[in-house]
Structure 1
Amino acid sequence: MTKNPDPLNFAHVTDWVFDLDNTLYPHHSNLFSQIDVKMTGYVANLLQLSHTDARQLQKQFYKDYGTTLKGLMDRYNIDPDDFLQKVHDIDYSWLVPDPALAMAIKHLPGRKFIFTNGDRGHAERAARQLGVLDEFDDIFDIVAAELMPKPARQAYDRFLDLHGIDAKSSAMFEDLARNLVEPKALGMKTVLIVPHNFEPTFSEIWERDPDYTDHVDYVTDDLASFLNAIQPGQVRTGMPA
């Protein structure tokens, strides 16, 4: 893991871009597992499949289309609003507020954005529960992306254009290496967030993407500490002065 990155490598960054699920909140919170279960149930109900078959198809959609939603839209012409509402009907109390992360984000110089394949409501609820929502300038969700998810290049282009961002002056934080391919090609600094004390066996086989690791500049299992380490000047503890 990259524990102590050189702050000079981020001195040019004016726009900071964060994925939401398993990035801003930690993998061990298991919040996304609730969404995952909801998606499997949605596929099962829609297509009258067993849980096992529905989950296999769901993960195939994820692999082939970037998101289960995109696969269902292309193959079955589902209503995306119905899908997003149902899969994000979850319990956000699982998330523990993270004041250290909020302080680390607050002190980053420049603008901060959430860029998620989920919808705005989900991002707002999760970020609010974490205590970081007020630190962000805006949220770019799957609706703003015109339902084209990461890792498609169109999603990144639309995000950058909408907010007037120069990719070469920005950094992106993601938990999926394949979602950093286009940001790296565009000139962004890329940081992969992995579970604490990460081992490859922690990931399900269809969610591992070792072929994309060449597009990752840094890897960390502690986002707040990483952000503190790249702050200009004195490294902050993450607590208010």
Structure 2
Amino acid sequence: MIIALTATTQLGGIAWLIGRPFRQSLLVSLASYAVLSISAIWVAPAFGRTPLSCVPEKGGAHAGIIFCVTNRHYVTPELKSALNDIVDDLNTSFPGIQLGVLDASFPFLNDFPMLPHLSHNDGRKADLAFFYKDSDGRPLPGGTLRSPIGYFAYETGRSACPATRFDLHWDLNWLQRVWSKHELDIDRTSKLIEAATANPRIRKVFLEPHLQKRLDVNHPKVRFQGCYAARHDDHIHLQL
């Protein structure tokens, strides 16, 4: 339990330990976790991290509530500034646009693992949600997700990797029928990648090859993440 809660929230294992000696251990653990998580907002800057907003707002980047609750919405000030610049760039074409952020990093300690990611351990990486349209072709607000956590809802396209059980490049074909049928918004998502690659702070953007072709992306910063990492046709990974 300690390992699982620490790997998913960083502070959950500590909160669980605090609650164990009490009769109402679950209640005490939840209260402890809330206190620790709120305190992290003010303590994290001492570790070079700052939280992203958890509230959707026009013309801004925000993390989904599940990522805020699990303390996975922290970035370095430099990355936060880069995300704000990207949103400002998008606003010129799409006034009032909202940018949804998925997993970023935990509030404390470099090289602290964030499962199931192979990176996201230094505040210098963040995953961005795609933009979608509804079944009538109307643009949905930024941060709208096809799956509850934003991951594993893959876009249709041929994977560049062979099927295997021993890596993170899961196909999960059986799960795809469960997710919403929102359509990828080619225009806004392409502009998002264009704004990210144009930003001098951003060094790499990971995206599956079939989506690079579909979105007409051709930039040296846009790369294939390899077959041993998670698929990147359900989100965009960028890093300083």
Q: TM-score, normalised by structure 1?
A: 0.27
Which structure: greater helix fraction?
A: 1
Q: TM-score, normalised by structure 2?
A: 0.27
- The answer to which structure, 1 or 2, has the higher relative contact order (CA under 8 A, 6+ apart) is 1
Q: Which has the larger radius of gyration?
A: 2
